[in-house]
Copies of this chain bind each other. A is one copy, B any other.
Amino acid sequence: MSIGRNRTAYIAYGFDDIALVPAAETIDPDDVDVRLRIGNVELEIPILASAMDAAVDVRLAILMSQLGGLAVLNLEGLQTRYESPEEVIERIVEAPQEEVVKVLQEVYREPIKEELVYERVRAIKAAGAKVGVASTPLQAQRLLPVAVNAGADVAVIQSTVTTVRFVSTRRQPLDWKAIRETIDTPLIVGNCVTYEAAIELMRAGADGVLVGVGPGAACTTRQVIGVGVPQVTAIADVAAAREDFLERTGRYVIVIADGGMRTGGDIAKAIAAGADGVMIGSPIASADEAPGKGYHWGMAAPHPGLPRGTRVKITYRAPLETILHGPARTDDGTQNLVGALKLSMATCGARNIREMQKVQIVVAPAIQSEGKLLQRQQSKAAS
């Protein structure tokens, strides 16, 4: 559509802009299959835990695997910089508000140790758990082989935006061919939000792509650099790349939605938009067992002159099992994510993830009018 003379734009939709339409044939939720296959790795539930220091450490990764999902360990975070990351997290958590940015900037200056990379992965594998590991493109050739060597099941190369083509007069771009030859585990790469960028990552050998750049208006990436695409459209565009790539090559590259999801409804919408699975950070960080001890801090805009994400207090916490499998003790959709996904799929007539990717979507903005806000008090229970 036109947004001015000679200037066009396409409209992008987010989770809050859509809803799913119940089908005329419904399924028994107990018959719904939500498994996710990443290369040779099969997960019972299509949920990955984000490579964030407040969300994933050794203990959480083991638990996540036991509950059917896959945690991704951040190879450039506190776990691989410090022998005892708990103490550092304690500092972050207890810093007065005005010093948080300074503390965060300081603790991440400690160098990454390859032996800690190896050790952390070994500890998780020793417990019989599956685990993913993540590095930025810059460190991928150095850190990923160490982690894979230690037994990591899935490798992830992730930065705010990762493209195959990177033009620089002073830095060497990532050698995709070399990395693909070195890493023999499934490789997930991201983030991306467009058909073109996604299909290039697929051609470069990715087994999965992460979708999500500045999905929401309040995202740091959107605020600071103005860049971002709402998730429903981004997922649909990347899913279209997956289908075209599948048709051309016979290879199925999974699409993982990353960012902007908090409730079971959000996860259901991500898959309905075309995703094969999701990667979530905040919901995992809100687990009682999460390393963040009730706090969450992001790593947006990793640019020397731009700030690291703020520390955010997490109000509601629950055991990870409750968050993933319930029973839910709240009605805001943040607990029993898997049960909610299954019920959503059952209601939409989808027996499995592939069928869920084709259910009917409706554009139905979640914007509240003033009147509605006032009347929620009386009518909330009525729906």
Task: Fill in one digit per residue for A339-375: 1 if any B CB lies within 8 Å of its CB, else 0.
Answer: 1110110011001000000001111111111111101
**A4–B274 CB distance below 8 A:** yes
Given A5-B195, A28-B167, A31-B167, do A268 and B226 touch, yes or no (CB 8 Å)? yes
**A200–B371 CB distance below 8 A:** no
**B232–A378 CB distance below 8 A:** no
Contacts A11-B362, A22-B163, A306-B340 aside, 7 further interface pairs with beta carbons under 8 A come to A3-B363, A10-B363, A27-B166, A215-B383, A262-B378, A298-B382, A301-B343
Q: List 18 A-B contacts (CB under 8 A).
A: A4-B235, A7-B274, A9-B361, A16-B371, A21-B193, A22-B163, A31-B167, A31-B169, A101-B330, A217-B366, A223-B263, A225-B340, A226-B272, A262-B379, A305-B328, A310-B331, A314-B378, A366-B369
Task: Fill in one digit per residue for A80-100: 1 if any B CB lies within 8 Å of its CB, else 0.
Answer: 000000000000000000000
A196 to B230, CA, bound (A): 30
**A19–B224 CB distance below 8 A:** no
Interface-side segment among A35-43, A60-68, A236-244: A236-244
Given A219-B383, A263-B224, A370-B217, do A296 and B378 touch, yes or no (CB 8 Å)? yes
**Is residue A269 within 8 Å, beta carbon to beta carbon, of the partner chain?**
yes
Q: Which of B4, B22, B169, B274 contacts A227 (CB 8 A)?
A: B22
**B224–A331 CB distance below 8 A:** yes
**B163–A260 CB distance below 8 A:** no
**Is residue A311 within 8 Å, beta carbon to beta carbon, of the partner chain?**
yes
The 10 A-B pairs with the shortest beta carbon distances in the complex, nearest first, are A4-B236, A226-B265, A219-B383, A28-B168, A298-B381, A217-B366, A305-B326, A5-B240, A225-B344, A366-B369
Chain B residues within 8 Å of A224, by CB: 263-265, 328, 331-333, 340, 343
**B213–A16 CB distance below 8 A:** no
A34 to B254, CA, bound (A): 38
Task: Fill in one digit per residue for A187-204: 1 if any B CB lies within 8 Å of its CB, else 0.
Answer: 000001111110010000
Chain B residues within 8 Å of A171, by CB: 28
**Is residue A179 within 8 Å, beta carbon to beta carbon, of the partner chain?**
no
Chain B residues within 8 Å of A316, by CB: 378
A140 to B228, CA, bound (A): 43
**Is residue A266 within 8 Å, beta carbon to beta carbon, of the partner chain?**
yes
**A6–B305 CB distance below 8 A:** no
Question: What is the minimal beta-carbon distance from A84 to any residue of chain B, in angstroms?
Answer: 23
**B367–A217 CB distance below 8 A:** yes
**Is residue A221 within 8 Å, beta carbon to beta carbon, of the partner chain?**
yes
A240 to B25, CA, bound (A): 20
**Is residue A229 within 8 Å, beta carbon to beta carbon, of the partner chain?**
yes
**B367–A226 CB distance below 8 A:** no
**A197–B361 CB distance below 8 A:** no
**Is residue A303 within 8 Å, beta carbon to beta carbon, of the partner chain?**
yes
**B166–A26 CB distance below 8 A:** yes
Chain B residues within 8 Å of A303, by CB: 29, 339, 343
**Is residue A376 within 8 Å, beta carbon to beta carbon, of the partner chain?**
yes
Given A161-B347, A382-B281, do A169 and B263 touch, yes or no (CB 8 Å)? no
Q: Which of B20, B163, B268, B315 contacts A23 (CB 8 A)?
A: B163
Q: Which of B50, B163, B236, B347 contacts A25 (CB 8 A)?
A: B163
**Is residue A319 within 8 Å, beta carbon to beta carbon, of the partner chain?**
no
Query: Taking CB as reference atom, which chain B residue is nearest A18?
Result: B9
**A31–B168 CB distance below 8 A:** yes
A29 to B31, CA, bound (A): 50
Q: Which of A7, A169, A262, A282 has the most CB of B within 10 A?
A: A7
